[in-house]
Amino acid sequence: MILKSIKLVVVFIISMLTTSAVYAEDAAVGATAKQVVEKFQSELIAVMKDGKKLGYAGRYEKLSEPISNSHDLTKIARIIVGKEWEKLSEDQQQKLTDIFVRLSIASYAHNFKDYTGESFGFDSEEETTRGGVVVHTHLVIPNDKPVKFDYMLKEKGNSWRIINIIANGVSDLALKRSEYTTILQREGFDVLMTKINEKIDSYSKL
């Protein structure tokens, strides 16, 4: 079984980083926030079911589009590094976005590689005071406690995009902002890029 309680929360949060600045125009255009979340979840489960047959490279390829089509992870990248984003050159901003794309997909491809009957369920949704929507869901894990996932979405162009995920009360944005902003401030851009590349390489080899 690939996911267990706290480990699942950490794995899922690690997976929530960033994607390409260019977003594909697909069925997500015009979809409601709930539909965006449910489509992503169904695609994730489908990859898990074929995980062993696909192998790491196959899972990476299959997950690339679902992640790109459901998350505004360029925005997430900006939020994660906070004020440090404005200190980066345009070239550095693009490189940071691109490497977060690879890290996000790689972490999913590595961690979501098996299926033992997991399923997502919808609980409710609500509008936020700033024009966003929060979709409340849970992941059912056989022989274990369900994990609660709250997806925060904002409109981007003609579609809704996930900008934050809170798993069992733990915010991915809060965790990543603490980790990556600290590295960027103390050790610099090149060190941050190196450490992220090392993590990506480790995912592909394990």
pLDDT of residue 12: 52
pLDDT of residue 186: 94
Nearest-10 crossing angle of helices 172-187, 5-15 = 60
Per the structure, the complete domain to which residue 158 belongs is given by 5-205
Counts for the chain of helices (H) and strands (E), in that order: 8, 5
pLDDT of residue 206: 67
pLDDT of residue 80: 84
Nearest-10 crossing angle of helices 172-187, 189-205 = 130
Average pLDDT across each block of 10 residues of the chain; the chain has 206 residues. List them in order. Answer: 49 46 49 96 95 95 92 85 92 91 87 92 95 96 94 93 92 85 94 93 86
Domain count of the chain? Answer: 1
Q: Are 125 and 135 in contact (CB under 8 A)?
A: yes
Q: CATH code at 41?
A: 3.10.450.710
Query: What's the one-letter identity of residue 167?
Result: A
pLDDT of residue 173: 81
